[in-house]
Amino acid sequence: MAVTGLWRIALTAGVVVSGIVTAQAADQVTLGSASGLPVPRFVSLKTDKVNVRSGPAKDHDVAWVYSRSALPVEVIAESDNWRRIRDWEGAEGWVYHSLLSGRRTALVSPQSKDKDALLALRNKPDAESGVSAKLESGVLGTVKRCGSGWCRIAGDGFDGWIEQQRLWGVYPNEKVE
């Protein structure tokens, strides 16, 4: 299974909702009060163990623990040195800022209805281009570039182009350079 290490250890009861979040229009960009960076924005987990808390302080309970570095998460709020994040399943919690990286990563179609379908990774950003690899849902890759509806991603043993809509970790029509 391609999502090895994508587990969350639930320490408290909660409801996980799924959904697609779209980027705000360029003229409606909100900057975080602590970082001065856009909110929302995508980042990734810096380490293999990241505690997610119920509130923005160490005295709040740990809600769950991520156990895989480089997973993409979305920063949706800031409070001093804490960032409220949302993951690909829609779960939200607070993480200390130093556990997050600006490195852009993405998951290949993690919420695909057909989990057994393989998605084509192309040699060029064109649906008619040759296939360089076929990726399972949940594969994690580093985002190299995005534009015109395509993203170049690379990972262990693959490098190529995939339709932007097939990734979680970049916004629709977002340009990444």
CA–CA distances in Å: residue 10 to residues 43, 53, 63, 104, 132 = 22, 11, 6, 26, 37
For residue 174, being part of any structural domain is answered with no
Same domain for 38 and 112?
no
pLDDT of residue 120: 94
Same domain for 13 and 97?
yes
**Widest CA span of the chain, in angstroms?**
54
pTM as predicted: 0.82
DSSP for 105-134, written as a single string: EEEESTT-S-TTPEEEEESSSSTTSPEEEE
169 burial level (CB within 10 Å; 0-12, 13-18, 19+): buried
Q: At which of 72, 102, 132 does a domain end?
A: 102
Q: At which of 84, 102, 120 does a domain end?
A: 102
Same domain for 95 and 127?
no
Q: Is the pLDDT of residue 58 over 80?
A: yes
Same domain for 14 and 88?
yes
The tokens describing 20, both together, are 């697609």
Cis peptide before 40 (omega within 30 of 0): yes
Same domain for 89 and 20?
yes
Same domain for 21 and 86?
yes
The number of angstroms, rounded, from the C-alpha of 37 to the middle of its chain's C-alpha atoms is 17
Q: Which neighbouring-strand residues pair with 61? A: none
Domain range for 134:
107-168
For residue 59, being part of any structural domain is answered with yes
* H or E segment and range at residue 40: none
% of the chain exceeding 70 in pLDDT: 81
Q: At which of 44, 76, 102 does a domain end?
A: 102
% of the chain exceeding 90 in pLDDT: 76
